Structure 1
C-alpha cells in the first residue's frame, strides 16, 4: 500500500477517536430537525413503542430497511450502469414489519415539509399520496415507479446522478481528482494493523471478483491499493469503523481505472425483528442479505467480510450513487416525492411477497381511515405522535448540546 504518511502527529490516536466522533455526531444532529431524524433511529423505535405500537398493523414479515428516512433513499447504479431511485442504506435492515418503514418515511417527509415551512395540510396530503404510491407498488401498477410523477426535486437529483463520472465522485468524496486521499477533517491516518488488514481484505477473491465485475475486467485483472484512510462519514454511523480505500484497477499498457471502496462496520440493528424471524448472527451477513432482498442493485455490489475481528461490509462506490438532499420543498414537490418514494419502498417490500400477501397487505392499508383522510388512521396517528415527540427530542438535544458546549 503506497500510502505517504502526511503529518500524522496532528491527528487523534485511535483510542481517542470515539469521543471525538461522538461530539461530531451530536453536532450534526443539532443542525436541523431533519438531521435529527437521521441520527435518532433508536429513539424512533422507543417513541413508537411508547405511542402504543399495538395499534400498528403487523404486515407480512419481510426484509425492511429499518431506517427508512429521506437520506437513505436515492439514485443507485447497478453493475450494468442503470440508475434508479432505490433504498441505499441498509445498516438497520432486519426481517420485520413493513409498516415500520412506512411510518419512518412518513415522519421523515413530514419533518422535511415542516422545514420547508409548508402548512400542516400538506403533511395530510403527503401521507395520502404515500399510501397511494405504496399500494400501487404492492399491486404491481406499471406507472407506480414512473419518475415523471416523482416531483422536480427528486427528478433533479436523478438527472444529476445519471451524468456523473469518476471525476465527480473523486471531487465530491476526496475533494480532488488526483489519486490520493487528503488527510484532514474528513479522513484520518490508519494504524499499521488497519493498513495491513485492509490490504489483506482487498486481496481476497470475493473483493477481486466484485471490483473486476464493476470495472468490466477479466478474471486476471490486477487490483492495487493506492491509498486508504479512516473515514469520518455519516451521522448514525459515526463512531463505528469506516474506511475509504482508493484502488487502481489494471496494469501494464492497458489503461487503468480507479475505484473507491467504502468499508463499513456492521453493528447490531435497533429495529425490531418480526416474531420468529431468522436473523443472521453475523451483522455483515444480515446487512448484505437485506440489501439483496430490498435493493439488489446495491446488494450485488456488496461483500460481507471481517476486518480486525469485526464484521464489515465492503462496497465500491459508484459516481451515480447519491443521497436525496432536499433542503426546500414546494407543496407540489412534497406531494410528488411522497407518492414516488413510498412506491420505491413498496416495490422493495412487494418483491419479497407472494401475490396473495401483496393483495392482503394492500387491503389492510385501505382500512381504518382517519375521518376524511384517505390514509389509515394508524399511519396518521403514529406520524402525528412521532412528530411531537421528535420536536421535543430535537429541542432537548439542542439545549443539552448548547449547555455542554458552554461548559
Structure 2
C-alpha cells in the first residue's frame, strides 16, 4: 500500500490529530469558523436569541444550512441538481432556523469579501426573494433532466459549478480523493490505518445484500454485480469527525460480463445526536442514522436515494457512494452582483426542499407569515435581519477568541 513520507496517524492518535486539524480549519477565516461551529448557533437559540423567530410549519430542515452544505448532487439515474449536501443535523423542526443559519453564512462570506454592510442587507433581501419564490411555484415541478437551457438563469458561480460537475468522471473523483485510479487508498495526511476489527467490520458490511443492491443498482450498473472491498481506511474529513467513526471504502463492482471491475468510493460516517432543536411532537426515526437518511430523502432526493442507514461496530452509521458530480460551493471572494444572485439561488434551493413537504394551504400560510413584519426600507423580515446581525457579532467575537487560543497553542 502506498504511504506518505510523514508519520502515519495510528488509531490511538486520532483524537488529538483531529482536534488540532479542526482548530486550524476554523481559524482560517470567520466564514470557516461559522461553518465549523454549528453548536454555537443552537446555543444562541437556546439562550433566547431565537425568541422573535416565527414558528414555521413542521418540516424536515437541514439543521446546518450554510453555503458549503449546498451544491451540485448527482442522482442514481445521472440527473444533476443543486441540493443540500450534508444532513447530519437534519430534524423535523422550524424552517426559520435554516433561513437564519444560511443568512449568517452569507453575511460572513460577504464580510470576508470586504463587501460593505449594505450588501449584506441586499443579500438577505435576495435570499428571502428566492426562498419565497419557491413557495409560489409548484414544488413538484422540478426541471426535466438535461433540458436545454435549464440552468441559464442561474448566477454565473452556480452555473459554472454545475457545468463543471456535469463533465466530471470517475477519474476526476479518484484523482482528487485517492490520488489516482489505482485500486488503493494512500495512507498519509487524509487517510489513516484501520484497526483489524474495523477492517473486518467494513468487509462484513460491504458483503450484505442491502449494501450490494444499493451500490450495484446505481447509475445503470448491473444490478446483479458482485461488490467487494478493494481497500479501506480511516478518513480524516471535515470538522465533525472528532471522536466518531469515519471511513473511506474503495469498493470493486464486478459484473459477469465485465472483463475487469469498476470502482467506487463509499463514505461511511457515524451518526450522532443532532444539536438542531426538533419540534416536540415530531415523529422521527429514533436511530440517528435512520434520521439522517430519512431527512435526506425529503430534503435532497438525489442524495437520499443513494444512502443507507445501518450499524457498524455497535454504532449507528450511514453511508453513501460519492459521485464525481457531488461538489460544494467554495466561496473565496464575492463581488456585489454575485453575492445577491448567489443568495437568491441558494435560498431557492432550501425553499424547494422545504416546500415539497407541504400541501398548498400550508405553503401559503408560511409564505404569508414570512411576508409579515417588513420594514419600509428593507424587503426582508425584521426578525431575520436582527437575528443575522446578532449572530455575526456573536460569531465574530468567538472567532477572534478561537484564533487567540489557537495561536497560543502554536
Return the TM-score normalized by structure 1: 0.95
Q: Does 1:157 align with 2:157?
A: no
Residues 60-105 of structure 1, C-alpha deviations (whole Å, 9 max, x = no match): 0100000000110000010111111000100000000000000000
How many residue pairs get aligned? The number is 402
Q: Distance in 1 between matches of 2:3 and 2:117?
A: 52
Q: Secondary structure at the match of 1:60?
A: coil
Q: Aligned to 1:22, which of 4, 19, 24?
A: 19
Q: Distance in 1 between matches of 2:55 and 2:283?
A: 17
Identify if the C-alpha distance between structure 1 residues 147 and 391 changes in structure 2 by more than 3 Å, giving closer, same or farther.
farther
Given that residues 292 and 298 in structure 1 are in contact (C-alpha distance below 8 angstroms), is that contact kept between their aligned partners in structure 2?
yes
1:337 alignment counterpart: 342
Q: Distance in 2 between matches of 1:194 and 1:95?
A: 33
2:333 alignment counterpart: 328
Following superposition, the deviation at residue 159 of structure 1 comes to 1.1
Q: Distance in 2 between matches of 1:329 and 1:387?
A: 18
Given that residues 51 and 385 in structure 1 are in contact (C-alpha distance below 8 angstroms), is that contact kept between their aligned partners in structure 2?
no
Q: Secondary structure at the match of 2:330?
A: coil
Query: Which is worse superposed, 130-139 or 253-262?
Result: 253-262
Identify if the C-alpha distance between structure 1 residues 303 and 380 changes in structure 2 by more than 3 Å, giving closer, same or farther.
same
Q: Distance in 2 between matches of 1:229 and 1:99?
A: 38
2:301 alignment counterpart: 296
Q: Does 1:249 align with 2:246?
A: no
Q: Distance in 1 between matches of 2:344 and 2:7?
A: 48
1:206 alignment counterpart: 210
Q: Distance in 1 between matches of 2:70 and 2:107?
A: 16
2:76 alignment counterpart: 79
2:109 alignment counterpart: 112
Q: Does 1:37 align with 2:42?
A: no
Q: Aligned to 1:220, which of 224, 240, 243?
A: 224
1:64 alignment counterpart: 61
Residues 101-135 of structure 1, C-alpha deviations (whole Å, 9 max, x = no match): 00000000111111111111111111111111111
Q: Distance in 1 between matches of 2:396 and 2:2?
A: 45
Given that residues 37 and 108 in structure 1 are in contact (C-alpha distance below 8 angstroms), is that contact kept between their aligned partners in structure 2?
yes
Following superposition, the deviation at residue 251 of structure 1 comes to 4.7
Return the TM-score normalized by structure 2: 0.94
Residues 280-325 of structure 1, C-alpha deviations (whole Å, 9 max, x = no match): 2210000001000101110010000111100110110000001111
Q: Distance in 1 between matches of 2:273 and 2:154?
A: 33
Following superposition, the deviation at residue 276 of structure 1 comes to 1.3
Q: Secondary structure at the match of 1:148?
A: coil
Following superposition, the deviation at residue 156 of structure 1 comes to 1.3
Q: Secondary structure at the match of 2:334?
A: coil
Residues 21-45 of structure 1, C-alpha deviations (whole Å, 9 max, x = no match): 1111111101111110111000011
Q: Aligned to 1:376, which of 370, 377, 381?
A: 381
Q: Distance in 2 between matches of 1:41 and 1:90?
A: 12
Given that residues 48 and 386 in structure 1 are in contact (C-alpha distance below 8 angstroms), is that contact kept between their aligned partners in structure 2?
no
Q: Does 1:100 align with 2:97?
A: yes
Q: Distance in 2 between matches of 1:399 and 1:100?
A: 29
Q: Distance in 2 between matches of 1:151 and 1:369?
A: 26
Q: Distance in 1 between matches of 2:167 and 2:48?
A: 44
Query: Which is worse superposed, 376-385 or 42-51?
Result: 42-51
1:187 alignment counterpart: 191
Given that residues 136 and 144 in structure 1 are in contact (C-alpha distance below 8 angstroms), is that contact kept between their aligned partners in structure 2?
no
Q: Distance in 1 between matches of 2:88 and 2:73?
A: 16
Q: Distance in 1 between matches of 2:256 and 2:358?
A: 49
Q: Secondary structure at the match of 1:43?
A: helix
Alignment of 1:358-377 (within 5 A): 358-377=363-382
Query: Which is worse superposed, 376-385 or 171-180?
Result: 171-180
Which 4+ stretches in 1 moved above 6 angstroms? 141-146
